[in-house]
Amino acid sequence: MDIKTQYHQKMDPKYHHMELIDVPAIIAENKKKWFNQTLTQINESVARIGIVQGEYHWHKHEKDDEFFFVLQGKLFIDLEGCMIELNAMTGVTISKGVMHRPRAEEKTVMLMVETCSIDPIGD
């Protein structure tokens, strides 16, 4: 199976500027195990919601940093040689060029901030 078909990623912004962003509605509508939705674009960056359970694949972004902030649940980010555990209301920035793998044992909701040109699958 093609790696891109394992994830449900909606890269076009769902909300325009000055439009109320309804995160609980997105969470309630989602039935997928690994789902990303771009919420809005802010200059050259985007804010995305991730609703995840299971493992993503190992990947890196050569030109882009990535910010993860957990709203609900628990997210583990495996790095080469260590692991970061994010509980609700905690976050971390993964530097460009760093190999990483996000995973969640239970349904987890997170906010991500990254450049609008990033490919979430990795480089």
Q: What is the chain's pLDDT, residue by residue, as a tens digit (123 residues)?
A: 455 557 889 999 999 999 999 999 999 999 999 999 999 999 999 999 999 999 999 999 999 999 999 999 999 999 999 999 999 999 999 999 999 999 999 999 999 999 999 888 888
How far is residue 103's CA from residue 59's CA, in Å, rounded to a whole number?
Answer: 12
Task: Assign domain 3-115 to a CATH class.
Answer: mainly beta
* Strand ranges inside 60-115, DSSP E: 66-72, 74-79, 82-87, 91-94, 100-115
In this prediction, residue 88 carries a pLDDT of 98
Query: Largest Cα–Cα distance of the chain, in whole Å?
Result: 43
Q: What are phi and psi of 72, to 5 degrees?
A: -140, 145
In this prediction, residue 5 carries a pLDDT of 53
How far is residue 42's CA from residue 33's CA, in Å, rounded to a whole number?
Answer: 27
For 89, the token pair is 């209301």
In this prediction, residue 123 carries a pLDDT of 80
pTM of the model: 0.92
